[in-house]
Amino acid sequence: MVHKDMTEKVSIEIKRDLYDKAKKFIEEQGGFSSVEELVEFLLEEVLSSEESEERGLSKEDEEKVKERLRALGYI
């Protein structure tokens, strides 16, 4: 699919102060557009240790990338 976000969303509840801390973290660190995105990322990180595909790169792929980076002198 080119464009549609296929995943249906559900709501979850978290403690307000944790939410505020997460929000502050995002404002200071950048990299995420919302607390929701941060939470999704962290959940995926935890859950995908078994399915490394979800994270994009397998260990093997990452090693290949590093090989190229070394060959080009980036690392």
Contacts of 47 (CB under 8 A, 6+ apart): 54
14 vs 75, which CB is nearer to another protein? 75
Check residue 12 for interaction with another protein (CB under 8 A).
Answer: no
Tokens matching residue 59: 């260990």
Residue selected from 8, 13, 31, 46 as contacting another protein according to rule CB under 8 A: 31
Q: Are 32 and 26 in contact (CB under 8 A)?
A: yes
Check residue 9 for interaction with another protein (CB under 8 A).
Answer: no
Check residue 15 for interaction with another protein (CB under 8 A).
Answer: no
Tokens matching residue 37: 């995105």
Residue selected from 14, 48, 57, 58 as contacting another protein according to rule CB under 8 A: 57
Tokens matching residue 35: 């607390």
